[in-house]
Amino acid sequence: MTKKAERTTAYIIETVAPIFNRHGYIGTSMSDLTEATGLTKGAIYGNFENKEALALSAFEHNRNILLQTIDNKLDIGIEALDKLFSLLSFYKQYDVFTLPLGGCPLLNVGVDAQSNNKLLAAAVKETIKEIEGKIALILENGAKQNEIKLPVPPLQFAKQFFTMIQGAVAMSTMTQDRKYLVNTVTYLEYLVKQELKK
């Protein structure tokens, strides 16, 4: 692939990622994509096999931005609690962070793809598992270093922790009330102190 072709492909993905995320796989029309990119249908499909391949690339683009940001937040401090509080602080502003992405990619694509695109649904599920794994690793290392006490196995705690975060994201998205997100994350900060602090 030439440099120009690579730049065109990257431009298409960056431009259509928020559209797919906002409108869903079925809800995004070819005219939405040609209008946003200023390219013809032929030019778009010259870079992607089909609409599904483009939608998957769009999700992966948003997913990579999210995962990179989560990695950066978990890379702060040395102790497990510092890392968890850094992650929670990020999620307090998650609605603001996801605005340029077209909303939460896990929530939007995950719900939309359940009934109409197995490939996208599987990609979301894999991303959720990856995030839970990152949180579980922080917890496991924290317990090994004797920084935190864990009432349950690391992965179990990580799954419950992330479920509460994503539930808050869903509620704040559906009600257009960010208090669901802020209040839940504030409660999780309290919970982490109560449950995990030695």
Domains of the chain: 3-196 (1.10.357.10)
Measured between alpha carbons, how far is residue 129 from residues 28, 67, 124, 134 in Å? 27, 12, 9, 9
CB atoms within 10 A of CB 122: 12
Residue position matching structure tokens 């249908």: 41
Task: Please say whether the beta carbons of 25 and 117 come within 8 A.
Answer: yes
CB atoms within 10 A of CB 176: 8
Q: Cα–chain-centroid distance for residue 40?
A: 30
Confidence of residue 4 (pLDDT cuts 50, 70, 90): confident
What is the C-alpha end-to-end distance of the chain, expressed in Å? Answer: 54
> pLDDT tens digit string along 137-154?
999 999 999 999 999 999
- Report d(CA 127, CA 122) in Å as an integer: 9
Q: Cα–chain-centroid distance for residue 119?
A: 16
pTM for the model: 0.94
Confidence of residue 1 (pLDDT cuts 50, 70, 90): low
Q: Is the pLDDT of residue 198 over 90?
A: no
Helix (H, G, I), strand (E, B) or coil at 2: coil
140-151 burial code (b ≥16 CB/10 A, e <16): bebbeeebbeee
- What integer is the mean pLDDT of 191-195? 93
Across the chain, what does the average pLDDT equal?
95
Q: Where are the beta strands (DSSP E) in 124-195?
A: none
Confidence of residue 22 (pLDDT cuts 50, 70, 90): very high
